[in-house]
Amino acid sequence: MAQVGPASMASARPVEAMRASFIDWGAILAGALTAAALSFVFLTFGAAIGLSVVSPWPSSGVSARTFSALAVFWTLVQQIGAFLAGGYIAGRMRAGWAELNADEVEFRDGLHGALVWALGICIGAALLLATAGAATRAATDLTSKAMSIAGLNTDPLAYYTDTLLRPGPARPAAGGGVAQTPARVEPVAPETRAEITRVVARSIANGSLSDPDKSYLATIVAQRSGLPQAEAEKRVTDTYAEANRVIREAANKARRTAVLGGLITGISLMISLAAAWWAAQRGGHHRDNSVPATLVFFGSSLRRPW
C-alpha cells in the first residue's frame, strides 16, 4: 500500500491554504488608482461646468443657493461613481477562490472593495496636501498683486475705520449763511488708523465696547471729523454695532458652511464605502461566472442572476 508522506499531504492542500495572504494588493491598487483618477477627472469637469453657469454680474447666472446644491450633488455623484468603478475593478481582477463557500467569497470580495476605498482616500488626501500648498501660495500671490494694483485694502475692519473718520455732515451756518462742512483738523496718520482698527477688533472679540475705549475713539473721531463729542460718540456706537453684527454674521456663516461641508463629506464617504463594497462583490460575481466585460458595460449582464 502506498504511503502518504508529508510532501504528498502538502501537495494535496488547496492552493488557498498555502497562500501567505488572502489580500490581492495588485487588484486593490488598480482599483484605488482608477477611483482616484476618475474622481479627479469628474471634479475637473464639474468645476468647468460650475464656472460656466455662474456670473460675476448681479442677477445673472444661477443663484448661490442653486450653485451650492449642484456642487453638493456633483460631489456625491462623482465620489460614489469613482469608487463604484474602483471597487468593481478590484473584485473582478482579484484571483478566485474556488474552494471557499459563496458567503466567504462574497465577503472577501467586499473587503477588497473597502480596501480600495481606504487606499483611494489616502491617495486623494496625499494629492490634496501636495497641491494645496502650491495652490494657496499662488492664489495668495495673485490676490495680493491684484489688490495692490487696484489700491484696495483686504482688512475687513478698514471700511469701518474709514466710516469713523469721515467728515461730518454739512451744518447750516449761524444767521442763515452758507452751510459749511466741518473739515478735518489734521490728516489721519496710518498709526492712528491701525490703533482704531485694533481697538474695534479687540472690542468685537470681547463682545462689548468698553466705556474708556468708546470715549477714546469718540475723541479721535471728533478731532478728525469735526463732529461734536456727543455726535462722535453716537457714530462710534453705531459703527461698532454694525461692524460687530457683520463680523459675527460672517463668522457664523463660515461655521455653518464648515459644519455642512463636514457632514456632506462624511456622508458621501460612508455611501462611497458601501458602493465600493457592493461593486467589488458584483465584480467577483462576474469573475466567477465568466461574465464578459462588454456585457457588463453595455447592460446585457442585467439579464444574468445577481
pLDDT for 275 equals: 93
Mean pLDDT taken over the chain: 77
Residue whose entry in the numeric block shows the C-alpha cell 492664489 = 139
pLDDT at position 228 is 87
Confidence band for 138, pLDDT divided at 50, 70 and 90: low
Per-residue model confidence (pLDDT) at position 184:
47
Show the 3-state SS of the chain: CCCCCHHHHHHHCCHHHHCCCCCCHHHHHHHHHHHHHHHHHHHHHHHHHHHHHCCCCCCCCCCHHHHHHHHHHHHHHHHHHHHHHHHHHHHHHCCCCCCCCHHHHHHHHHHHHHHHHHHHHHHHHHHHHHHHHHHHHHHHHHHHHHHHHHCCCCCCCHHHHHHHCCCCCCECCCCCCCCECCCCCCCCCHHHHHHHHHHHHHHHHHCCCCHHHHHHHHHHHHHHHCCCHHHHHHHHHHHHHHHHHHHHHHHHHHHHHHHHHHHHHHHHHHHHHHHHHHHHHHHHHHHHCCCCHHHHHCCHHHHCCC
Q: Is the pTM higher than 0.85?
A: no
Summarize pLDDT for 239-263 with one digit per residue, the tens.
999 999 998 998 898 888 888 888 8
pLDDT band at 9 (very low <50, low <70, confident <90, very high): very low
User: Above 80 in pLDDT, residue 162?
Assistant: yes
State residue 99's pLDDT score: 63
pLDDT-derived band at 69, boundaries 50, 70, 90: confident
**pLDDT greater than 80 at residue 182:** no
Q: What percent of the chain has pLDDT over 70?
A: 70
